[in-house]
A and B are shown apart, each in its own frame.
Chain A
Amino acid sequence: MRGSGLLDEAVVMQALEAVKDPEIPVVSVVELGIVQAVQVDSASGAVVVSITPTFSGCPALDLMRTAIESCVLDLGASAVRVEVVLDPPWTSDRIAPEARARMQAIGLAPPPPVGRFRTDISLTLEPLLASEDPVPCPYCGSSQTVMENGFGPTICRSAHYCNGCLQSFEAFKAL
């Protein structure tokens, strides 16, 4: 059904690689894993893009929504609608391997695999941080690191300290 300028899902997805996370400009919205689905109506050329927030309070979501709309219209879509969905919920495990490498290169530690921690969140005051695997330092690779604060300059980042190279660094939160 393709041809004569009609779009398909793969073409749209490919184009969305150009839309970056405004807070982490080395990572695209596709690599971040927030693009849930793309639907193209081949008869009308209208496109629906379903995205899901990393954190529900992410202030960059509207910017990304607008950038996705422009991107799809530039492709020649007759109309575009970006809808925000919550199911299935985003997890940091969705971040693409290449994007993780680029995060590391700018000094932002990629999130460790979520695994057990995601479903077994203790409600008690018992020590929890000690039982979590430390985030490797993005500068020297040491695992001798500690999370100093669960909150950083954006709601998706935490603040850490490396006892190997004695530097502070940020990590993308495991969620």
Chain B
Amino acid sequence: MNDQESSAPIAMASMDDTARADLAIVVLGIADDCMLQGHRDSEWTGLGPILEEDIAFSSMAQDELGHALVWYNLLAGLGETRSPDLLAFTRDAGDWRNAQIVALPRGEYPFSLMRRHLHDLAKAVLYDGLIACGVAEVAVAATKLRQEKKYHLIHNRAYIERLARSETGRGPIQAALDELFPFALGLFEKQDAHDRLAAAGFIPSQALLRERWLDVTCSSLAAAGLRPPAHRAEEAWIPDVDPRVGGRSGRHVPEQVALLEAMQGMFRSDPEATW
């Protein structure tokens, strides 16, 4: 993705210990994002405003859990000894590395829809960058998962356009955008591990990913008649709000504790059970 990356990707096993440890930190953040996004979307199962959206959010939730599993599995090759189930269902809030956005309560439908859109675009931009990255296993995973984002992007766009065009929908979808935008910027929170991997040419920098995300997100929302809290300066979009950060170092919104209780309660009641 970066111009300096011209050599062929290397296997994780060939990376030095520091780079492997850094990659484990970055991958855990990605996995945790997917896991909690999936859980929040699953809360729409049976409650969707229309049947199609009930099904869509349930399906996207299923996709996200699959994506989380791909990333948790990858950690095994980076020294992680806990199984995906143990990672997902036995860690307390402070040990999670998700961005804060995915733990926010589902809210009203426009809020959940806009969160999906902002996060799907961020992951699509990330996976696009990782497809061409310097780590073979990461590139393989990103290629697979990027393909699967296709139907999410089509879905989100269709419904956001519908809401943005309607008299009754425009206010709520704009309000959701305003509320979520600082949290979406938090998906690009500065992370020393990420910076070191980017400097070594393994993965694209957060700054580059953020710039691309701002471009596709703000341009597309503006085209739909919405006002992203950002302004154009020459070629780039500059946010007018500060990012909500902390998630990548384990500082989360208070609601994450209740989320984890709901998500992990069954597993923790009998961790040895077979299903």
Q: Which residues of A are interface residues toward B (Cβ below 8 A)?
A: 53, 55-59, 86-87, 89-91, 117-118, 121-126, 128-129, 148-153, 155, 158-159, 173, 175
Contact = CB atoms under 8 A, between A and B. Distances in A.
Contact of B143 (A55, A89, A117, A173): A89
B157 A125 contact: yes
A56 B148 CA distance: 8
- Kindly list the 4 A-B residue pairs having the minimum CB-CB distance in the complex, ordered from nearest: A57-B66, A56-B66, A125-B220, A150-B151
Nearest to B38: A57
A89 B63 contact: no
A151 B148 contact: no
A128 B144 CA distance: 21
| Main SS at interface, chain B | helix
**Among A53, A87, A122, A151, which residue has the most Cβ atoms of chain B within 10 A?**
A151
Contacts of A53: 66
Contact of A87 (B60, B64, B140): B140
Interface in B84-121: 121
A118 B149 CA distance: 11
Interface stretch (B51-59, B174-182, B246-254, B265-273): B51-59
A155 B63 contact: yes
B154 A175 contact: no
A77 to B, nearest CB: 24
B66 A149 contact: no
Given A89-B147, A118-B147, A124-B223, A57 B67 contact: yes
Contacts of B238: none
A153 B55 contact: yes
21 contacts: A53-B66, A56-B66, A56-B67, A56-B69, A57-B62, A59-B62, A86-B141, A117-B150, A123-B125, A123-B153, A125-B161, A125-B221, A150-B56, A150-B154, A150-B155, A151-B56, A151-B151, A152-B59, A155-B63, A175-B147, A175-B148
Contacts, number: 95
A29 B145 CA distance: 21
Contacts of B56: 149-151
B135 interface: no
Contacts of A121: 124, 146, 149-150, 153
Interface residues of B, number: 42
B200 interface: no
Contacts of B223: 124-126
B69 to A, nearest CB: 7
A56 B140 contact: no
**Among B140, B143, B151, B158, which residue has the most Cβ atoms of chain A within 10 A?**
B151
A57 B63 contact: yes
A128 to B, nearest CB: 6
A128 B220 CA distance: 13
Contacts of B59: 151-152, 155
B70 interface: yes
Nearest to A149: B52
B151 A158 contact: yes
B55 A56 contact: no
Contacts of B203: none
Contacts of A175: 147-148, 150
Nearest to A52: B144
B36 to A, nearest CB: 15
A62 to B, nearest CB: 10
A149 to B, nearest CB: 5
**Among B58, B63, B160, which residue has the most Cβ atoms of chain A within 10 A?**
B63
Contacts of A129: 154, 158
Contact of B55 (A58, A59, A86, A151): A151
A89 B146 CA distance: 11
Contacts of B224: 125
A152 B58 CA distance: 10
B219 interface: yes
